Amino acid sequence: MGNASLFSLAAIRKVAAGPIARGSMLSLAIKLAGMGLAFIQGILAARILGADGYGYIAFAMSVIQIFSVIALFGFGDLAIREIPRLNSAGARSELLGFLRAATCVSAIFSVVLGVGLVFLGSNLGIFQNLAQSSIILITLLAVFFTGTRLMRSVAQGFGAVVLAQIPGDVLRPFLIVSALIGAIWIGFIWNIDRFLTLYLAASLAAFLTAVGACLYLLRKSHCPVRPDHAGSRSNIADALPLFGLSVLVILQSELATVMLALFASPEQTGLYQPVARLTPIIALPASAVAMRYAPRISEFWNSDQVSRLVAVTRTYTLVTAGLTALVAIVIAGLGPWILLAFGPEFVASAPLLWIVGAAQIFNTSCGPVGNLLVMTGQTRAATTTKLAGLLCAVAAALMLVPSHGAMGAALAVAAGLVAWNVTALIAVRKLLGFDPSILQFLSRTKSSIDTSR
C-alpha cells in the first residue's frame, strides 16, 4: 500500500504545491513559448535559405554552441551548484567573488577562442564556402552566446526560472522571428551574411537583458560591493572537472550536425535540422523540471536531506518519463505533417523522429542521472560516463554517417544516449546509494502488490 499513496489526491496536491513543481510549471510555459518561436524561426530559415543554406547555418550554430561551452570553462554548471550553497549559507561576499572569477575567466577564454576561430575559419577552411565577413559574424555571435549562457546559469542558481530563460530562450528567437516575418513581408532578399547579422543583433539584445537580470538578482540578494577574492583560485580548480564534462555534453549534443557537415553534405546537414529542432521538444518535460530540480539536488545533498532527495527524484522520474513518452509518440506520429512546414524535401526525415523519440524515452526512464552526479559533486563519474556515451556515438557516426547520412546520424545519437544512461545509472546506484530509474519504481510497485496479497 506504500506506493499507492503516490497516486492519492492528497499526494498529487502536495507534489503540485511544492517549489519544484511550481518552478517546473513556470519553466515549462517559458520553454514552450521559446521552443515554439525557435521552431518558427527554423521553418522561416529553411524556407528562406533552402536545405543547403540551412545546413551551413546549422553547422555554424553548432560551432557557436561548442565555443560557448569551452569559453565558460565549466563555470556554468558550477554556478548552478555553488550559488544555492553560498546563498543559503549567507556567504554573500564569497558568492560575489565566485561570480567575478566566472566572468573574468569566461571573458578571457572568449577573446582567445574568438581570435582562434577567425584564424581557423580563414586559413584552415572549417567553414567551407563562407566569406570572411560570415566568419567574423559567427565569432561575435559565439561571444554573446557565451555571456548569455553564463548569466542564465547564474539566474538559475538563484532559483529565478523566468529571468534565467527569458533572454536566450524567448527574447532572442522572438526578435529574430519578428524581423524575418517583417522582412519577408516587404520582400527583403536574404543570404547567409544577412541572416547572421540579424542573429547577432538579437543575441546582443538577449545578452544585455541577461546581464540586467543578474544585476537585479544580486541587488535583491544584498550582495556586498566588495567581493571575496580568496576563493578565486579554488573556484577555477572546482570548475576544471565540470569544464571537461560540459565539453563532452556539448560535443554529444552537436555530434550529429558536426559529423554530417564533415562526412556527408550540407543538404543532409540541413535535412537533419528539423529533427534536431524537435528533439528538445520531446525532451521538454525533463529539461523544464530540471531548471528548478538541479539546484535542489545540491541543496538537499549538502544539507544531508538524502531522504527528501530520493523522494523528489522518484517523483521526477515518474512524471518526466510518462510525459516524455506521450510527447514523443505524438510528435513522431505527426512527423510527416510537421516537417512539411519546412518544405517538401524535409518530409523524408520523418522516420528519424521515431529513433530520437525512443532514445529520449529511454533517457528519462533512467532518471536524472547526469544532474544527480554533477550536483552531488561526483564529477569524475559524470565525466567518465559521458565520455563512454560520446565514444559510442562517435564510433557509430563514423560507421553510419558517410553511407546513411541523416539516418546514420540519428542512430549514432541514439546509441550514444543509451550508452551514457546505462553507465551513469550504474554510477548513481553505486555512489549515491539509490536507484532513480523507472525500473526501481516499478519494482517497488510490484513488491507492494505482492505484500498486499
Show the cell assigned to 271. 535535412
Question: Which pLDDT tens digit goes with each residue over 209-259?
Answer: 999 999 998 888 766 555 555 555 677 777 777 788 778 888 888 889 889
Q: Taking 90 as the threshold, does the pLDDT of residue 410 lie above it?
A: yes
pLDDT in tens, 78-112: 888 888 888 777 777 888 888 888 999 999 999 99
Rounded alpha-carbon distances, angstroms, from residue 33 to 181, 321, 334: 17, 22, 20
Which residue in this structure is represented by grid cell 552566446? 145
Distance from C-alpha of 73 to C-alpha of 243, rounded to nearest angstrom: 5
The most confident of the ranges 55-64, 163-172, 232-241 is 163-172
The sign one gets for the Cα dihedral 141, 282, 154, 205 is: positive
pLDDT at position 91: 75
Domain that holds residue 241: 3-452
Our count of domains for the chain comes to 1
Q: Is the pLDDT of residue 3 over 60?
A: no
Give residue-wise pLDDT tens across range 66-78: 899 899 988 988 8
Q: How confident is the model at residue 397 (pLDDT cuts 50, 70, 90)?
A: very high
pLDDT tens digits for 255-307? 898 898 888 887 888 889 889 888 988 998 888 777 778 778 877 888 888 88
pLDDT band at 2 (very low <50, low <70, confident <90, very high): very low
Specify the range with the lowest mean pLDDT, choosing from 69-78, 291-300, 409-418, 437-446.
Answer: 437-446
Q: With bands split at pLDDT 50, 70 and 90, how would you rate the model's confidence at 188?
A: confident
Residues 15-59 have pLDDT tens digits of 444 555 565 677 678 878 888 898 899 889 888 888 788 888 888
pLDDT, position 140: 92
Q: CB 340: neighbour CB atoms within 10 A?
A: 14
The pLDDT tens digits for 328-369 are: 999 999 999 999 988 888 999 999 999 999 999 999 999 999
Q: Would you state the pLDDT for residue 270?
A: 86
- pLDDT beyond 80 at 9: no
- Report phi then psi at 89, rounded to 5: -85, -5
- What is the predicted pLDDT for the residue at 155? 92
pLDDT at 4: 43
For the CA atoms of the chain, what is the radius of gyration?
22
Question: Which of 163-177, 182-196, 209-223 is the most confident on average?
Answer: 163-177
DSSP three-state, residue 367: coil
pLDDT of residue 166: 92
What global pTM score does this model have? Answer: 0.69
**224 phi and psi angles, rounded to 5 deg:** -70, 165
Longest dimension (CA), the chain: 73
Query: What is the overall mean pLDDT for the chain?
Result: 84
Q: Using CA atoms, how far apart are residues 414 and 357, in angstroms rounded to an integer?
A: 9
